[in-house]
Amino acid sequence: MVYQKLRGGDQKVKKLAVLGANGLLGSGLVKYLSSNYEVTPITRENYEEHKGQKFDLFINANGNSKRFWALQNVFQDFEASTISVYKTMFDFQFNKYVYISSVDVYPDLSSPQKTQENQEIKVIDQNTYGFHKYLSEQIVKKHVSDWLILRPSMILGTGLKKGPFFDILNNNPIFVTLDTKLQLTTTQGIAEIIETLFKNSVTGEIINVGGERSFSFTKISEYFDQKVQVSHEAKTQTYEMSVEKLKRLHPNLKTSEGYLQDFLKEYNRKSD
Protein backbone atom coordinates (compact mmCIF):
# COMPACT_ATOMS: atom_id res chain seq x y z
CA MET A 1 0.00 0.00 0.00
CA VAL A 2 1.24 3.50 -0.88
CA TYR A 3 0.11 6.46 1.18
CA GLN A 4 -0.30 9.67 -0.79
CA LYS A 5 -2.12 12.70 0.63
CA LEU A 6 -0.40 15.49 -1.23
CA ARG A 7 -1.29 19.13 -1.06
CA GLY A 8 -2.40 20.84 -4.24
CA GLY A 9 0.29 22.36 -6.44
CA ASP A 10 2.99 19.70 -5.88
CA GLN A 11 4.70 19.27 -9.24
CA LYS A 12 7.11 16.44 -8.54
CA VAL A 13 6.19 13.80 -6.00
CA LYS A 14 9.09 12.50 -3.93
CA LYS A 15 8.94 8.77 -3.29
CA LEU A 16 9.78 7.70 0.25
CA ALA A 17 10.03 4.26 1.86
CA VAL A 18 9.70 3.60 5.58
CA LEU A 19 11.09 0.25 6.70
CA GLY A 20 9.63 -0.87 10.01
CA ALA A 21 6.30 0.73 9.23
CA ASN A 22 4.43 -1.29 11.88
CA GLY A 23 6.56 0.04 14.72
CA LEU A 24 6.02 3.07 16.93
CA LEU A 25 8.31 5.38 14.97
CA GLY A 26 7.76 3.81 11.55
CA SER A 27 3.97 4.07 11.72
CA GLY A 28 4.26 7.68 12.88
CA LEU A 29 6.60 8.56 10.01
CA VAL A 30 4.18 7.02 7.50
CA LYS A 31 1.32 9.00 9.01
CA TYR A 32 3.01 12.40 9.05
CA LEU A 33 5.24 12.25 5.96
CA SER A 34 2.42 11.06 3.70
CA SER A 35 0.98 14.58 3.87
CA ASN A 36 3.73 15.80 1.55
CA TYR A 37 5.23 12.71 -0.06
CA GLU A 38 4.33 9.41 -1.67
CA VAL A 39 5.17 7.01 1.15
CA THR A 40 5.55 3.23 0.85
CA PRO A 41 5.35 1.45 4.22
CA ILE A 42 7.55 -1.66 4.28
CA THR A 43 6.96 -4.35 6.88
CA ARG A 44 8.01 -7.93 7.49
CA GLU A 45 4.87 -9.03 5.68
CA ASN A 46 5.41 -7.09 2.44
CA TYR A 47 9.23 -6.85 2.39
CA GLU A 48 9.68 -9.29 -0.50
CA GLU A 49 7.00 -7.52 -2.52
CA HIS A 50 8.96 -4.26 -2.50
CA LYS A 51 12.49 -5.63 -3.02
CA GLY A 52 14.27 -3.98 -5.93
CA GLN A 53 12.18 -0.81 -5.89
CA LYS A 54 13.82 2.62 -6.00
CA PHE A 55 13.04 5.55 -3.72
CA ASP A 56 14.16 9.15 -3.41
CA LEU A 57 14.48 8.62 0.34
CA PHE A 58 14.73 5.32 2.20
CA ILE A 59 14.14 5.57 5.96
CA ASN A 60 15.26 2.58 7.99
CA ALA A 61 13.23 2.68 11.21
CA ASN A 62 13.53 -1.07 11.61
CA GLY A 63 15.53 -3.11 14.10
CA ASN A 64 15.14 -4.06 17.72
CA SER A 65 14.23 -1.26 20.14
CA LYS A 66 14.15 -3.34 23.33
CA ARG A 67 17.37 -2.70 25.24
CA PHE A 68 16.83 -5.26 28.00
CA TRP A 69 15.93 -7.97 25.46
CA ALA A 70 19.09 -7.14 23.50
CA LEU A 71 21.27 -7.69 26.55
CA GLN A 72 19.71 -11.12 27.10
CA ASN A 73 19.62 -12.16 23.42
CA VAL A 74 22.88 -10.99 21.91
CA PHE A 75 22.88 -12.89 18.60
CA GLN A 76 19.17 -12.36 17.96
CA ASP A 77 19.66 -8.64 18.49
CA PHE A 78 22.59 -8.69 16.05
CA GLU A 79 20.33 -10.29 13.46
CA ALA A 80 17.49 -7.84 14.09
CA SER A 81 19.52 -4.65 14.34
CA THR A 82 22.63 -5.16 12.20
CA ILE A 83 22.24 -7.94 9.63
CA SER A 84 18.87 -6.44 8.66
CA VAL A 85 20.61 -3.14 7.82
CA TYR A 86 23.12 -4.88 5.57
CA LYS A 87 20.26 -6.55 3.68
CA THR A 88 18.70 -3.20 2.78
CA MET A 89 21.91 -2.17 1.01
CA PHE A 90 21.27 -4.89 -1.56
CA ASP A 91 17.49 -5.27 -1.50
CA PHE A 92 16.52 -1.67 -2.36
CA GLN A 93 17.64 1.25 -4.48
CA PHE A 94 17.63 4.80 -3.11
CA ASN A 95 19.05 8.27 -3.60
CA LYS A 96 19.28 9.08 0.11
CA TYR A 97 19.32 6.73 3.11
CA VAL A 98 18.29 7.69 6.64
CA TYR A 99 19.23 5.24 9.36
CA ILE A 100 17.46 5.53 12.70
CA SER A 101 20.09 4.52 15.22
CA SER A 102 19.92 5.24 18.97
CA VAL A 103 21.36 7.60 21.55
CA ASP A 104 22.45 4.43 23.36
CA VAL A 105 25.55 4.25 21.16
CA TYR A 106 27.04 6.60 23.78
CA PRO A 107 28.39 4.65 26.76
CA ASP A 108 27.81 7.63 29.08
CA LEU A 109 24.62 9.66 28.63
CA SER A 110 24.93 11.79 31.72
CA SER A 111 25.79 15.11 30.05
CA PRO A 112 25.87 16.93 26.69
CA GLN A 113 29.68 17.08 26.90
CA LYS A 114 29.82 13.25 26.74
CA THR A 115 27.36 12.87 23.86
CA GLN A 116 28.62 15.10 21.08
CA GLU A 117 28.35 13.55 17.63
CA ASN A 118 32.01 14.10 16.69
CA GLN A 119 33.53 12.48 19.74
CA GLU A 120 35.29 9.13 19.65
CA ILE A 121 33.18 6.25 20.94
CA LYS A 122 34.98 3.41 22.71
CA VAL A 123 33.16 0.24 21.70
CA ILE A 124 34.62 -1.64 24.67
CA ASP A 125 32.44 0.57 26.90
CA GLN A 126 29.21 0.05 24.95
CA ASN A 127 26.51 -2.39 25.93
CA THR A 128 25.29 -4.93 23.36
CA TYR A 129 22.35 -2.82 22.25
CA GLY A 130 24.43 0.31 21.64
CA PHE A 131 27.25 -1.65 20.00
CA HIS A 132 24.95 -3.25 17.42
CA LYS A 133 23.43 0.14 16.56
CA TYR A 134 26.94 1.55 16.20
CA LEU A 135 27.97 -1.32 13.91
CA SER A 136 24.95 -0.60 11.75
CA GLU A 137 25.99 3.04 11.48
CA GLN A 138 29.38 1.96 10.11
CA ILE A 139 27.66 -0.25 7.51
CA VAL A 140 25.60 2.70 6.31
CA LYS A 141 28.61 5.01 6.16
CA LYS A 142 30.65 2.46 4.19
CA HIS A 143 28.06 1.46 1.61
CA VAL A 144 25.94 4.59 1.04
CA SER A 145 27.12 7.82 -0.58
CA ASP A 146 24.21 10.03 0.53
CA TRP A 147 23.29 9.19 4.11
CA LEU A 148 22.02 10.57 7.39
CA ILE A 149 22.24 8.85 10.77
CA LEU A 150 19.83 9.93 13.49
CA ARG A 151 20.38 9.01 17.13
CA PRO A 152 17.03 9.56 18.86
CA SER A 153 16.34 9.60 22.58
CA MET A 154 13.05 8.35 24.06
CA ILE A 155 10.30 8.47 21.42
CA LEU A 156 6.66 9.13 22.30
CA GLY A 157 3.68 8.49 20.05
CA THR A 158 0.13 7.18 20.07
CA GLY A 159 1.37 3.65 19.38
CA LEU A 160 3.47 3.62 22.55
CA LYS A 161 3.74 0.12 24.04
CA LYS A 162 6.48 0.35 26.66
CA GLY A 163 8.37 2.71 28.92
CA PRO A 164 7.46 4.87 31.93
CA PHE A 165 4.82 6.99 30.18
CA PHE A 166 3.08 3.89 28.85
CA ASP A 167 3.13 2.43 32.36
CA ILE A 168 1.65 5.58 33.92
CA LEU A 169 -1.13 5.77 31.33
CA ASN A 170 -1.97 2.13 32.03
CA ASN A 171 -1.81 2.47 35.84
CA ASN A 172 1.28 0.28 36.10
CA PRO A 173 4.28 1.00 38.34
CA ILE A 174 7.19 2.72 36.63
CA PHE A 175 10.70 1.32 36.75
CA VAL A 176 12.52 4.65 36.96
CA THR A 177 12.83 6.77 40.07
CA LEU A 178 11.50 10.31 40.32
CA ASP A 179 15.12 11.52 40.17
CA THR A 180 15.20 10.36 36.54
CA LYS A 181 15.85 12.83 33.72
CA LEU A 182 14.99 11.82 30.16
CA GLN A 183 15.28 13.57 26.83
CA LEU A 184 12.05 13.21 24.88
CA THR A 185 10.85 13.54 21.31
CA THR A 186 7.80 12.37 19.36
CA THR A 187 7.15 10.52 16.13
CA GLN A 188 5.79 13.73 14.61
CA GLY A 189 8.83 15.65 15.84
CA ILE A 190 11.18 13.20 14.11
CA ALA A 191 9.11 13.33 10.92
CA GLU A 192 9.42 17.12 10.90
CA ILE A 193 13.19 16.89 11.45
CA ILE A 194 13.61 14.39 8.60
CA GLU A 195 11.57 16.63 6.31
CA THR A 196 13.72 19.65 7.21
CA LEU A 197 16.95 17.73 6.58
CA PHE A 198 15.62 16.27 3.30
CA LYS A 199 14.45 19.63 1.96
CA ASN A 200 17.77 21.25 2.83
CA SER A 201 19.78 18.39 1.25
CA VAL A 202 21.72 17.72 4.45
CA THR A 203 23.97 14.70 3.93
CA GLY A 204 26.78 12.79 5.62
CA GLU A 205 25.80 13.87 9.12
CA ILE A 206 25.28 12.02 12.39
CA ILE A 207 22.67 13.90 14.42
CA ASN A 208 21.39 13.43 17.97
CA VAL A 209 17.60 13.75 17.99
CA GLY A 210 15.72 14.76 21.12
CA GLY A 211 14.14 17.72 22.77
CA GLU A 212 16.20 20.55 24.18
CA ARG A 213 16.97 19.87 27.85
CA SER A 214 15.81 16.77 29.67
CA PHE A 215 12.46 16.24 31.38
CA SER A 216 12.72 15.69 35.13
CA PHE A 217 10.34 13.15 36.65
CA THR A 218 10.05 15.38 39.69
CA LYS A 219 7.47 17.22 37.55
CA ILE A 220 5.55 14.10 36.50
CA SER A 221 2.58 14.77 38.80
CA GLU A 222 1.89 18.00 36.88
CA TYR A 223 0.93 15.97 33.80
CA PHE A 224 -1.00 13.01 35.15
CA ASP A 225 -4.09 12.93 37.35
CA GLN A 226 -3.46 9.45 38.72
CA LYS A 227 -0.91 8.74 41.41
CA VAL A 228 2.37 7.58 39.92
CA GLN A 229 3.48 4.25 41.35
CA VAL A 230 7.22 3.65 41.52
CA SER A 231 8.41 0.04 41.54
CA HIS A 232 10.76 -1.05 44.31
CA GLU A 233 13.03 -2.20 41.47
CA ALA A 234 13.15 1.29 39.92
CA LYS A 235 16.49 2.75 38.90
CA THR A 236 17.54 6.31 38.23
CA GLN A 237 18.23 7.10 34.58
CA THR A 238 19.85 10.24 33.17
CA TYR A 239 19.70 11.01 29.46
CA GLU A 240 21.12 14.45 28.67
CA MET A 241 22.61 14.42 25.20
CA SER A 242 23.89 17.31 23.13
CA VAL A 243 21.40 18.71 20.60
CA GLU A 244 23.42 21.74 19.49
CA LYS A 245 23.89 20.37 15.96
CA LEU A 246 20.19 19.59 15.67
CA LYS A 247 19.24 23.11 16.80
CA ARG A 248 21.38 24.58 14.02
CA LEU A 249 19.83 22.32 11.38
CA HIS A 250 16.26 22.41 12.72
CA PRO A 251 15.62 25.77 14.43
CA ASN A 252 12.06 24.78 15.43
CA LEU A 253 13.28 22.20 17.92
CA LYS A 254 11.10 22.03 21.05
CA THR A 255 12.04 21.20 24.60
CA SER A 256 11.57 17.69 25.97
CA GLU A 257 8.69 19.03 28.05
CA GLY A 258 7.16 20.55 24.92
CA TYR A 259 7.26 17.19 23.15
CA LEU A 260 5.66 15.53 26.19
CA GLN A 261 2.85 18.08 26.03
CA ASP A 262 2.36 17.37 22.31
CA PHE A 263 2.20 13.63 22.98
CA LEU A 264 -0.36 13.96 25.75
CA LYS A 265 -2.57 16.24 23.64
CA GLU A 266 -2.59 13.72 20.80
CA TYR A 267 -3.08 10.79 23.19
CA ASN A 268 -6.03 12.46 24.91
CA ARG A 269 -7.54 13.45 21.58
CA LYS A 270 -7.34 9.85 20.39
CA SER A 271 -8.81 8.57 23.68
CA ASP A 272 -11.85 10.91 23.57
CA separation for the pair 148, 126 (Å, rounded): 22
pTM greater than the 0.95 cutoff: no
Question: What pLDDT, on a 0 to 100 scale, did the predictor assign at position 127?
Answer: 93
Task: Report whether CATH 3.40.50.720 matches the domain 3-271.
Answer: yes
- Looking at residue 270, its pLDDT comes to 76
Half-sphere exposure of residue 103: CA atoms within 13 angstroms, side-chain side: 26
* Domain spans, the chain: 3-271
- As a whole number, mean pLDDT of residues 81-108 equals 96
Q: What is the pLDDT of residue 227?
A: 87
pLDDT bracket for residue 6 (50, 70, 90): very low
Percent of the chain surpassing pLDDT 70: 94
* 32-48 average pLDDT score: 96
| pLDDT attached to residue 8 | 41
With cut-offs at 50, 70 and 90, classify the pLDDT of residue 1.
low
Say yes or no to pLDDT of 11 above 60: no
